[in-house]
Amino acid sequence: MVLNNTRSSHKRSRKPPTTMSSTLSPTDFDSLEIQGQYSDINNRWDLPDSDWDNDSSSARLFERSRIKALAGWLVTYSYQCFYSKEKTEDVGY
């Protein structure tokens, strides 16, 4: 019984791979389009240091108020724990 050698019957092409075309793929176009539409978002990172404090976005105002509230709580809690004469109950924080 003789078996056919499938490797010899299917010769592989030894052509070099073709180079990529210079056209943009659909995903590249989408990326470029998005960068063009939203390029002003990254402009705020280029602000000089003096302009950072003048930024009055709602998120920045919220974060500032949250940080101030946490700082106030920390001062109050630290004072109660370390400087009061009566011992405070450990609440597990």
In Å, the largest CA–CA distance within the chain is 102
C-alpha distances out from residue 44 to 17, 36, 48, 50, Å: 45, 15, 9, 12
Give per-residue pLDDT as tens, 14-46: 665 555 555 656 566 677 677 766 666 666 566
Amino acid at 43: N
* d(C-alpha 24, C-alpha 15), whole Å: 25
Give per-residue pLDDT as tens, 56-93: 778 888 998 999 999 988 888 887 777 766 655 565 55
